[in-house]
Amino acid sequence: MPYIGNTSKHVKNKINDIVSKFCKKGTEIKIAFTSQKISSYFSLKDEKLKSLQALVVYHFTCSVCNDTYIGCTRRHFKERVHEHLNTKKESHIYQHIRTKKCKRKAHTKDSFKILDRASTFYTLKIKEAMHIQWLQPVINGQKKTSVRLTLNV
């Protein structure tokens, strides 16, 4: 049992009382207390804000027509979302949300979510390709240029 002060001693005494009442005489139970690091119960590090995470695969869903896009970025997620919504005119999302059909509603950062993370750019590109293959996003223009996934047996 984990040792948590007087409560542990109290629990030990209660268990011994129950054993003495309901078990044969001579039955003895020894309770061993252990200690554990606090970090085994919860993380000691602050969680990084999602907007400041990098090397992520992200998903965009148009709030008007529900078309989707899968992308990845090495930079802060927040920075890439801002580009898609405001400044990067060659972005497929930028072009999509400015079509007549989807222009009538303001799109926000809430249309984006992080799907996956990676520790290297190569792994990131593989994960992006996998998500594109699984989810078949409509808006993606780079489907043909993403990492090709094949399995040789």
Along the chain (153 residues), what's the average pLDDT of each consecutive run of 10 residues?
A: 79 86 79 73 73 93 91 94 89 86 80 94 93 90 59 59
Looking at residue 63, its pLDDT comes to 87
CA distance 97 to 64: 9
Kind plus residue range of the DSSP H or E element containing 21: helix 6-22
Looking at residue 125, its pLDDT comes to 93
Looking at residue 102, its pLDDT comes to 83
pTM of the model: 0.64
Q: What is the CATH number of domain 50-142?
A: 3.40.1440
Q: 93 near 69, Cβ under 8 Å? A: yes
Strand arrangement of the beta sheet that strand 56-61 belongs to:
68-73, 56-61, 112-117
Looking at residue 115, its pLDDT comes to 95
Every domain of the chain and the residues it spans: 6-37, 50-142
Q: Which whole-number Å values give the CA distances from 20 to 8, 12, 23, 26, in the listed order? A: 18, 12, 6, 9
